[in-house]
């Protein structure tokens, strides 16, 4: 079974405060406790120096057990409730998923 990495890039509206952004992360951090199949969640502020971010300032990464777990997450009521809080604060979002294989 291949794990799935779910990556989102956020561009917050200029009207968002630090408290708004904190609320977004609190909301996102609650998802692994409420939705089965999420193995990990990490998030943070862009620190790249390459100037290729196109104005996206934050990102998060979730790792799912498998594609079926990701498919449970997408319509899950906890995810839908999170979107009600998060989406109005975003100017733009990009989401990409890929199969996840670790190598060293």
Q: Would you kindly state where each structural domain of the chain is located, as residue ranges?
A: 3-100
Give the closest residue to 61 by CA, choosing from 92, 89, 29.
Answer: 29
Token pair listed for 48: 């790249």
- Tell me: the pLDDT tens digits for 60-103? 999 999 999 999 999 999 999 999 999 999 999 999 999 977 76
Strands of the 3-12 sheet, one edge to the other:
38-45, 58-64, 3-12, 90-100
The fold for domain 3-100 equals Alpha-Beta Plaits (3.30.70)
Contact partners, residue 54, CB within 8 Å, separation at least 6:
11
pTM of the predicted model, to two decimals?
0.90
Nearest to 90 by CA among 7, 8, 6: 8
**Cβ proximity of 60 and 43 under 8 Å:** yes
């Amino acid at each position: 079974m291949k794990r799935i990495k779910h990556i989102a890039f956020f561009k917050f509206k200029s009207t968002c405060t630090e408290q708004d952004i904190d609320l977004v992360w609190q909301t996102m951090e609650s998802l692994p406790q409420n939705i089965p199949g999420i193995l990990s969640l990490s998030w943070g502020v862009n620190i790249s120096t390459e100037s290729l971010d196109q104005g996206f300032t934050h990102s998060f990464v979730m790792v799912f057990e498998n594609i079926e777990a990701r498919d449970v997450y997408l319509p899950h009521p906890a995810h839908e409730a999170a979107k009600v809080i998060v989406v109005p604060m975003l100017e733009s979002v990009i989401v990409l998923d890929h199969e996840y294989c670790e190598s060293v």
